[in-house]
């Protein structure tokens, strides 16, 4: 599996976990928007954001438009 595919797989798993938290009634906007929070939701959001940025950077590199 390529690095890009692995990142997408991880992002999809984080989305699945978010949906589970949200549908389970455990969603907290405070946890979601707290950038330094220790909740599972805050940690997953940070990881997701890092992966998304990495994926965008990889796409720019592939197209030769990297900063």
pLDDT at 63: 86
CA distance 13 to 65: 29
For 8-65, the pLDDT digits (tens) are 999 999 999 999 988 998 878 887 888 788 888 889 999 999 999 999 999 998 888 7
pLDDT at 66: 59
CA distance 25 to 22: 5
19: which 2 tokens? 């949906």
pLDDT at 30: 84
CA atoms 47, 48, 53, 54: torsion sign? positive
CA atoms 25, 18, 28, 39: torsion sign? positive
């Amino acid at each position: 599996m390529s690095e890009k595919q692995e990142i997408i797989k991880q992002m999809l798993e984080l989305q699945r976990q978010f949906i589970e938290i949200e549908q389970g009634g455990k969603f907290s906007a405070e946890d979601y928007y707290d950038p330094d929070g220790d909740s599972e939701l805050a940690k997953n959001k940070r990881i997701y954001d890092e992966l998304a940025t990495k994926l965008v950077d990889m796409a720019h590199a592939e197209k030769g438009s990297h900063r």
